[in-house]
Amino acid sequence: MFPGVQALDQASLYVAPGEIHGLVGENGAGKSTIIKVLAGVYARDSGTVTINGTAYDTLTPASVHAAGVRFIHQELHLVPHFTVAESVFMGQEISGVFGIDRKTMNARASAFLSETLHVDIAPNTLIRDLGIAERKLVQIARALIDNKARIVVFDEPTAPLAMAEIEQLFAAIRRLKERGIAIIYVSHYLGEITQLCDRVTVFRNGKDVAVEDNIDDASSDSIIRHMVGRALDALYPTKHHAVEAPILKLSGLTSEGQFSGIDLTVGKGEIVGLGGLIGSGREELTDTIYGLKQPTSGSIELGGRELTISTPSTAVAAGIVLVPRDRRHDGLVLDLSVGDNINLASLEEIADLWLENRRSAARRSDALSEKLDIRPRNSSAITRFLSGGNQQKVVLARWLATGSKVFILDEPTVGVDIGAKVEIYQLIEDLAAQGAGIIISSSDPAELLGLCDRVAVLMRGRMIADRPTDTLDIDSLIALTTGFEATGDAA
Amino acid sequence: MVGYLPLAIFVVLLVYLSFTAPNYFSFQSLDLILRQAIPTVVVCLGLSVVVMAGGNDVVSGGIDLSIPATAVMSAAIIADQVTNHGTPIAIAFALALIAALIVGAVNALLVVRIGMTPLLATLSVSVAVVGIVKVITSSRRINVDHPVVVWLRDGSIAGVSVGVILTTILFLIFFFVVHRTRWGMNLQAVGGSRDAAEISGIPTGRFLSQSFVVAAFAGGLASMFVLARGSGSTPGTEENLLLEMVLATFLGAAFSPRRVVTLWGAVLGAVLVTALSIGFKSIGVNVFWTGCIKGALILVVVASASLSLRASARGHAA
């Protein structure tokens, strides 16, 4: 399932009854993998799994469930038009002589919600009429209603919740702990980890590198140190671009429920990083600048002129382009050739009257393909068969062809190998040196520090920091994005 | 408020018809409407089960376009056996049901095992089944005057038509199975969110397969009412039945407060669509215009339902 990659390497995790055990690590550190092994989704090559004293040779989703392990997935997975009681008892409905016994189901669902989770939700309310926090509690109730849970795994449960709702969730989790249930809590929000957990296991590169006991606020520094565990390597180009006058200026940009009051300036030739966890509003912000979503208030200025960007085509015409995270779906027509993909956005310029001028099109794409070192160096190669890094270069080549002024790159190096990473970083640096304004939205703190002039950090829809990268180190940046250091603009 | 618009439109139209059409709200005309609606009601029960298991999305969710063809095929088998070969009607009916179940199994195989979209799979199967009907009947009408068929058409108990009573019983059985049994709840869970069902340990593929078999079975049952309504097997009956089945079922979703396909909604939809057709006929609307008016009405109703659903979705996002 991970060709040629050892996703877990002699990793261990011990969790005791009645304890809330945090599981932390950067993306790709092996947290999700070990959870999926425990869930019976991935098979392990070696090692043992012991639940409540019984060793399990092979784990299947059914045997794990029978052993009392429950998973609260990040996604809610509820049927919108089912009632609360129907959702709680899904797959384990109570049947009487006259069929489904709704009365008993309602009573038991309602009792469980109020006694264990301390929340009063009418059991015949439709899921679609509930808020996100209440849905989360219904999801938890569904996992626990049979009273056979011994281990409950929470995967990033607070991502969609507001602050007050998080407190409600934590209270519920603590009550589960009091009942002697073992809890594994996976999260990127280190602030929540230290607030909630009794012990923490840190993963890095597929291994458990540290177990922290006696968690308190002071544990954060050592957790981060274990998470990072490496020096910034020489992946990044030397910064030699000069930052000039502002080209893109966001003032008070707000999108109801997503992000609010964002002020951000990007100069000509400047690379600005956008940090923040998934769900922090980062993606919504870049989508809004690109016209995929509409802001509810605030303004976007490009080169001193205020713009209303209603669609991506308005953005592109003005000179703002977005290189999406999921380039396979959003950025490329995979079954077209490299040349066709490069020319996709500049068809008007290369068309004679209505017909595409094949020769000038080929000349342009060949030149760009050479400049960006796209391999194979063959504009008629089908894009699908290129490596991830080369596909990313094709997307960049397309926008270079249009002469855009502002580039927004969303996770530009996700899923590309180290060699291609270095080339993409160099390419971004070159773009900046040519005077483009660049926003890099990334969840990799090392990438933000290594590449950018400034980093703006979003947290739950608000911009909590906008600092030059030379005032930051990787520890302080992680502390910022994960909510250890909740306030304080400019160091 | 938009949510009540579909129902309101139909109430207004029915009130209008009752004032203009002669004897529209009489017992006789109600009985006529119900009797005419029976084959549509029965195939709608089948389609509802498929939509509940596959989800409400007409393109990617559950749909079975082959039920009317299956009903007409079963009717052709019975008519051919009874009239041309002198087979006892019970055996002919059993043969017809077996043929229908085979069609259901083929649908299940294509959708669940091979992974075809239900829309394409069942459309292709429908075309093939209509082909089988032509082979059986040589595209000719076969009269059936067997007493059972005549009884289904004309018989009544305490003044209520036999067909209406039998259909009501069938509806109650379907209703109990879908809404009051674990099987039915799990079926609805699969259609509501396949991921949620899978996480809850429900074997989703099995439920999808079973829904197609149940639907084909409903088609097989509908064959007797198709025979009774037409006093025999008539080629081409499936076309109008298909149209009315799809419209009635999704119209029913527009009536339901949860905005999902339900059994009672589908039945109500089928009866109302038939009521309008008969009402238009009796006030003398040109036959060629009836289709246009029906289509437009249904568009308005379904569109208003979509609008109200979107409005409520937006209300929750904010």
Contact by Cβ (8 Å): A183, A173:
yes
> A376: cis peptide before it, omega within 30°?
yes
A220 and A251 in a common domain: no
A341 and A303 in a common domain: yes
Range scoring the smallest mean pLDDT among A85-99, A211-225, B153-167, B253-267: A211-225
Instruction: Place B77 in a pLDDT band, splitting at 50, 70 and 90.
Output: very high
Partner-chain residue, chosen from A80, A98, A257, that has the shortest CB–CB distance to B180: A98
Which residues 29-68 of A have a C-beta within 8 angstroms of B? 61-62, 65
Where is the domain boundary, A228, A255, A289? A228
Which residues 94-113 of A have a C-beta within 8 angstroms of B? 95, 98-100
> When comparing pLDDT for B4 and A222, which is higher?
A222
Contact by Cβ (8 Å): A82, B189:
yes
A443 and A341 in a common domain: yes
Q: Single out the residue of B69, B78, B79, B81 nearest to residue B97, CA to CA.
A: B78
Q: What angle do CA B215, B220, B226 make, to 5 degrees?
A: 115
- What residues does each domain of chain B span? 27-308
Return the amino acid letter for B130. V
Residue B222 confidence (pLDDT) above 90: yes
Contact by Cβ (8 Å): B219, B43:
yes
Q: What angle do CA A49, A51, A52 make, to 5 degrees?
A: 150
The pLDDT score that the predictor gives to residue A327 is 62
Contact by Cβ (8 Å): B265, B255:
yes
Give the N- to C-terminal CA distance of chain B in Å, as an integer. Answer: 19
Over B5-45, what HEC string results? HHHHHHHHHHHHHHHHCCCCCCHHHHHHHHHHHHHHHHHHH
A369 and A261 in a common domain: yes
Range scoring the smallest mean pLDDT among A275-279, B269-273, B293-297: B293-297
In a domain, A436, yes or no: yes
Contact by Cβ (8 Å): A67, A150:
yes
Q: A440 forms bridges with which residues in the sheet?
A: A273, A409
The pLDDT score that the predictor gives to residue A488 is 41
The pLDDT score that the predictor gives to residue A352 is 55
B137 touches chain A (CB under 8 A): no
Count CA atoms within 13 Å of residue A171 on its CB side: 15
Q: Single out the residue of B54, B189, B199 nearest to residue A75, CA to CA.
A: B199
Instruction: Place B206 in a pLDDT band, splitting at 50, 70 and 90.
Output: very high
Classify residue B261 by burial, with Cβ atoms within 10 Å: 0-12, 13-18, 19+: buried
Count CA atoms within 13 Å of residue B18 on its CB side: 10
> When comparing pLDDT for B14 and A300, which is higher?
A300
Instruction: Place B318 in a pLDDT band, splitting at 50, 70 and 90.
Output: very low
In a domain, A487, yes or no: no
A303 and A196 in a common domain: no
A311 and A213 in a common domain: no
Instruction: Place B187 in a pLDDT band, splitting at 50, 70 and 90.
Output: very high
A157 and A258 in a common domain: no
A394 and A285 in a common domain: yes
Q: Which CATH class is domain B27-308?
A: mainly alpha
The CATH number for A291's domain is 3.40.50.300
**What b-and-e string marks burial along B237-246, b requiring 16 or more CB atoms within 10 Å of the CB?**
bbeebbbbbb
Nearest residue on chain A to B257, alpha-carbon basis: A81
Where is the domain boundary, A198, A228, A258? A228
Running along chain A, 491 residues long, what does each successive block of 10 average in pLDDT? 58 89 81 85 84 86 88 87 92 86 92 88 91 89 90 87 82 91 89 88 83 75 74 65 86 90 92 88 90 90 88 87 73 81 71 62 80 78 78 81 85 72 82 88 86 91 90 85 59 33
Measure Cα distances from A331 to A340, A342, A389, A465 in Å: 13, 11, 13, 30
B202/A90 CB distance under 8 A: yes
A131 and A254 in a common domain: no
Q: In a 3-state reduction of DSSP, which class is residue B75?
A: helix
- Cα-flanking dihedrals φ and ψ of residue B142, to 5°? -120, 120
Give the N- to C-terminal CA distance of chain A in Å, as an integer. Answer: 44
Average pLDDT value for residue range B85-91: 93
Contact by Cβ (8 Å): A273, A461:
no
A280 and A182 in a common domain: no
Report chain B's mean pLDDT, rounded to a whole number: 87
The pLDDT score that the predictor gives to residue B170 is 96
- Mutation to test the B interface, candidates A94, A97, A100, most B Cβ within 10 Å: A100
Predicted TM-score (pTM) of the model is 0.73
The pLDDT score that the predictor gives to residue B315 is 47
Give the structural domain span for A313. 246-482
A255 and A176 in a common domain: no
What whole-number distance in Å separates Cα of residue B112 and Cα of residue B109?
6
A451 and A332 in a common domain: yes
Q: Using a pLDDT cut of 90, give the percent of chain B over it.
A: 51
Residue B104 confidence (pLDDT) above 60: yes
User: C-alpha B95: how far from its chain's center?
Assistant: 22
Domain count for chain A: 2
Residues in chain A: 491
What whole-number distance in Å separates Cα of residue B121 and Cα of residue B216?
14
Which residues 222-261 of A have a C-beta within 8 angstroms of B? 256-257
B189/A80 CB distance under 8 A: no
